[in-house]
Chains A and B, each alone.
Chain A
Amino acid sequence: MSATAAARPRPAIGRWWSALGPTGGALVALIVLVAANSIFTPNFATAGNFWNVLLQLSVTLLVSVGMTFVIATGGVDLAVGSVMAISAAVAAVTVDQGLWIAIPLALAAGMAVGLLNGAFVSYFKVQAIVVTLATLLAGRGMAQVINRDGALLTIEDPGFLALGRGHVGPLPVQVLIAAVVVALAVFLLRSTPFGRYVLAAGGNPAAARLAGVPVNRTVVSVYVLSGLLAGMAGLIEASRLGASAAAKIGQGAELDAIAAVVVGGTLLSGGRATLLGTVVGALIMQVIATSFNMLLIPYSWSLAFKALIILVAVYLQRPRRV
């Protein structure tokens, strides 16, 4: 890993793989996985299963998109799971006032946590891991507090339930939301100055500052964005469950998100991001989970496989050192 070591020869597959680019590689992996499953897993290549995968995917995808932006600045947001729980809880206790109040409030709560994270990371210069670790801890507790001290609050508002259970034509609402969010995110990253600022702040914050990039503001913004998207994810999850289950909602969400982002080719150290890669990464993770489920392979094996995929993906994507 040191700059002074002579470059080690890379295996032939590695060279071919890297010629594809990190996302290309992930895409190939996905295609292979889907193809293999279509052959070996009964009922995999069916329309029903297709929608099933997309359904399960939507929540993770929302969080992963936010995580992509955060990781692109060189940070990480461990608190997303707690934010999901908080927004679900806020929705549950305010849903009686009407959806037009409950949903914005819930999302605002998510953004507030994001603002807190972002402020501590950029202005107080505390490391992202530690800040979001602390908000993870506090947030989980806060969600329970809001949930009327640990109760399980059910939500019966039909409008709310439509989020996680409704359809627009053949398309489940959550899949539609996720698709729109991904499209907007791609636009944001590719075509706006903000997208460039995010990559600059992650690639070389000192250089970015000198070039007039508003680094601090950019960093705060990505955490707020992450909070917003996690909030959305939490609402959908709560809608699916029909309740705000603060202990369950969002458990492990950060892990899945980080895995999706990393497998897709975004650099953990920041400076390079690919939303397409994140989508592919999330799909890979979901296909694995679904197919293992359908093949009745125990959940624990799917975990081991996921771990392997992450390692392999990162190994193949590591930047070359001259």
Chain B
Amino acid sequence: MEHQGQIGGSGPALAVPPGAAGTPPTHGAGGGVPVPRAPAFRSKAASMLQRQGAVVALIIVCIFGAIRYEPFATPENLLNVLRQNSMLGLVALGMTMVILTGGIDLSVGSVLAVAGITTAWLSPQGTAVALLGGLAAGAVLGALNGVLITRAGIQPFIVTLAMMIAARGAALGATDENSVHVDRAAKGIMWLGRGKVVGIPVPVLLAALAFLAGWVVLRYTRFGRYVYAAGDHQDAARLLGLKVDRVLIATYAISGALAGLAGIVLAGRLGAGQPVAGNGWELDAIAAVVVGGTLLSGGQGGVGATVVGVLLLGIIFNLFNLEGTITPWWQGVLRGIFLLGVVVVQSRLQRRAAKAA
């Protein structure tokens, strides 16, 4: 079973997916992004503590699963978990970068659908065209987000919210709410979704490669460092001479492209591009990033943390399934409680580390 957007429930997603998170640059008491004016300094230690927390949780959960459920620790099951979550992983990777800049991207679910449909629609022209088309669709929509955020000066929350609505509308409208089949001419697309290399599903390899590339970019390229800088303190970065606007546009474009890639892989797997695909995935991606330890305020965290977050949430879902007796409803409740618990603990650790710094 693929990763389903748990938030959306099981109804037909004709309604626009539930509105989601946002990090408006706020002064308010309601817990938006902390005011950049004078943030209480949180040392690198605090961010690391949070991430250690997630890793520890992951280890505990794995051990628990291995002990309690026989089928858990089998290569079959584990590969399955990895495969099911690899597409979300791609989306979460893009989301990580956006969140590192202090922003948010609510449109990834809809962009995913648009890319999947585009690829399917172009599939009669062959794999290369279909692949490029889907990726381009994602990148263009993402870049559009970035342009609106930087040039029009509208908050990421609103811009990506609007894009989420508009893209979903476009997907539903252009396809008349029907799926678009992936043509046989684009065998490569099918392979992306269903193929295996030395027994490992292609989506897993793709996700692994993407995360590796993401890690290298963030740590070892100037662009990656500027992503962190933009989230650390955007005004200071500008004053220090960085072309922050370009960095932001590129980051959102990458997020869109990765969402697009996820959509392509999904289309390959299902054999069709569905206009309702990706419903609710933005929330799952945000949850994975947050649980992994990257801070919503930007400037801290990273790709490794998100891997842990995706795995953690994915394995918990897997455990629910293995348990068998937990209804999807209770799963939803438990996931919510879990997310809340993790975030509260992180918030505590953060503040304790801030006092020590």
* Partner-B contacts on A (CB < 8 A): 1-5, 70-76, 78, 81, 120-122, 124-131, 133-145, 149-150, 201-205, 208, 215, 218-219, 246-248, 251-258, 262, 268-271, 298-304, 306-308, 310-311, 314-315, 318
Contacts and interface: CB of A to CB of B under 8 A. Distances in A.
A304 B148 contact: no
Contacts of A299: 14, 169, 172-173
A215 B30 CA distance: 10
Contact of B19 (A2, A78, A140, A143): A78
Given A74-B26, A130-B21, A144-B329, A307 B162 contact: yes
Contacts of B163: 307
Given A74-B29, A252-B16, A125 B347 contact: yes
Contact of A303 (B16, B22, B27): B16
A136 to B, nearest CB: 7
Given A304-B170, A307-B169, A131 B239 contact: no
Interface stretch (B66-74, B118-126, B331-339): B331-339
B249 interface: no
A269 B6 CA distance: 29
B333 A145 contact: yes
Contacts of A140: 7, 9, 332
Given A3-B235, A300-B177, 4 more contacts: A75-B32, A127-B32, A205-B28, A310-B165
Interface in B250-295: 283, 286-287, 290
Contacts of A302: 169
B63 interface: no
Contact of B27 (A120, A205, A219, A251): A205
A138 B334 CA distance: 7
Interface string B5-16: 011011100111
Contact of B336 (A73, A129, A134, A248): A134
Contacts of A311: 148, 152, 154, 158-159, 162
A69 B332 CA distance: 28
A183 B330 CA distance: 39
Contact of B343 (A73, A134, A215, A307): A134
Interface string B141-157: 00000001010111101
B28 A271 contact: yes
A141 B31 contact: no
Given A133-B283, A315-B152, A255 B31 contact: no
B110 to A, nearest CB: 10
10 closest Cβ contacts across the A-B interface? A74-B28, A75-B30, A138-B336, A141-B332, A303-B169, A270-B28, A300-B173, A255-B19, A144-B329, A137-B336
B203 to A, nearest CB: 25
A219 B28 CA distance: 10
B11 A73 contact: no
Contact of B31 (A127, A269, A318): A127
B11 A251 contact: yes
B31 A125 contact: yes
Nearest to A270: B28
A311 B155 CA distance: 10
Contacts of B15: 251-252
A314 B26 contact: no
B329 to A, nearest CB: 4
B31 A304 contact: no
B327 A149 contact: yes
9 contacts: A73-B29, A134-B336, A137-B6, A137-B287, A138-B336, A251-B15, A300-B169, A301-B169, A304-B169
A125 B329 CA distance: 28
Contacts of B16: 252, 255, 303
Contacts of B6: 137
Contacts of A73: 28-30
A141 B336 contact: yes
B340 A149 contact: no
A135 B340 contact: yes
Nearest to B22: A129
B55 to A, nearest CB: 20
B27 A271 contact: yes
A267 to B, nearest CB: 9
A288 to B, nearest CB: 12
Nearest to A302: B169
A76 B33 CA distance: 12
Contact of A136 (B7, B234, B328): B7
B339 A133 contact: yes
B18 to A, nearest CB: 6
